[in-house]
Amino acid sequence: MITFKQLEALYWIAEMGSFETAANKLHMSQSAISKRIQELEESFDVELFDRSKRQARLTEKGFELLDDAKSLLESRDALVERISSNEVLVKHFRIGVTELTAMTWLPALVGGIRQTYPKVHIEPSVELSTQLFRKLQDDQLDLIIVPDVYEDVRFVATPLKTVENAWMCAPHLAPHTSAMRLQDLGAYTVLTQGSSSGTGVVYERWLSSHNVYLPRTLSSDNLLVQVGLTLSGIGISYLPKQCLSHLVDLGMLKTISTTPGLPHIRYAALYRSDRQKGLNRHVAELASAVCDFSTLLLNRAS
């Protein structure tokens, strides 16, 4: 007897290009997805995949069945959509965020998603911007929230709010000044975020555009490490102003203004544009809803 699970296995293997990636997409083992295809082949007494090839390539009969499988699966989804809420159509939603987002408004975002889509299991991933973008490209994540530095027609990007950063240091490091020229930073060790960070990339380009040379820099891919080094008096760093205002109020950090001042960092939510068709459209619909909720959440927080 043919099942929807077997047809889903066929669809996603053809869509993803391999048994392994399709198994990851369906949250199952590779042996389990192979068994479903084997059961389909036994039901029809035909080979659906050409196993002489390295990639998962459908046979002629496989392509024929794939067309029917798509139609049946979409009809099933339409039926579920009519008699139930659309939240059940996406069981797992993989969202990637940067460390700053995880430390600030991620809990409220997850809470909002769960309230609206209670049957969706949220799978968060906290990594650097470049790692998140690569995982989105490889379909290992459904949506990412990162600094808005990626321009790519393959992705739908929703601009969110900006983050204000400020130059900060331990009070004893620069006790007699609260303002300096941007070029004067060269006299200090400057703590920066690495090139894998969207914020790091923005400020690296910005400093270069102002012909600022920093002979002593110490780079870190971890925001908490950057904060710790700044508190220790190792150097001056750019840090999120609102997030660390309590440390400034306690006198543990002091802010230093420069001329010109640091530009704000715009954040954006991204998801793949090819998820807007077929069975993938439900992921795109949820991603779009998350983008809308993120915008609303940040507007309330500002």
One-letter amino acid for residue 194 of the chain: G
Domains of the chain, earliest start first: 4-84 (1.10.10.10), 87-161+266-301 (3.40.190.10), 165-263 (3.40.190.10)
Asked if pLDDT for residue 88 goes beyond 60, the answer is no
Q: 178-194, pLDDT tens digit by residue?
A: 888 898 998 999 999 98
The per-residue pLDDT of the chain, averaged, comes to: 84
- For the whole model, what pTM was predicted? 0.69
Q: 245-272, pLDDT tens digit by residue?
A: 999 999 999 999 998 899 999 888 888 8
- pLDDT value of position 152: 82
Q: 89-103, pLDDT tens digit by residue?
A: 556 788 999 998 888
- pLDDT value of position 104: 83
- pLDDT value of position 301: 45
Query: What Rg value do the Cα atoms of the chain yield, rounded?
Result: 24
Rounded CA separation 236/262 (Å): 13
What's 126's DSSP letter? E
Cis amide bond preceding 215, omega within 30: no
Asked if pLDDT for residue 294 goes beyond 70, the answer is no
Please name the residues in contact with 260: beta carbons below 8 A apart, sequence gap of 6 or more.
Answer: 182, 210
Which residues partner with 57 through β-bridges? 50
Which contacts of 38-42 are long-range, i.e. CB under 8 A and separated by 24 or more positions? 39/6, 40/2, 40/6, 40/7, 40/9, 40/10, 40/65
- Pinpoint the alpha helices (H) of the chain: 4-16, 19-25, 30-44, 60-83, 99-103, 106-116, 129-137, 198-209, 223-231, 245-249, 281-301
Which residues partner with 93 through β-bridges? 122
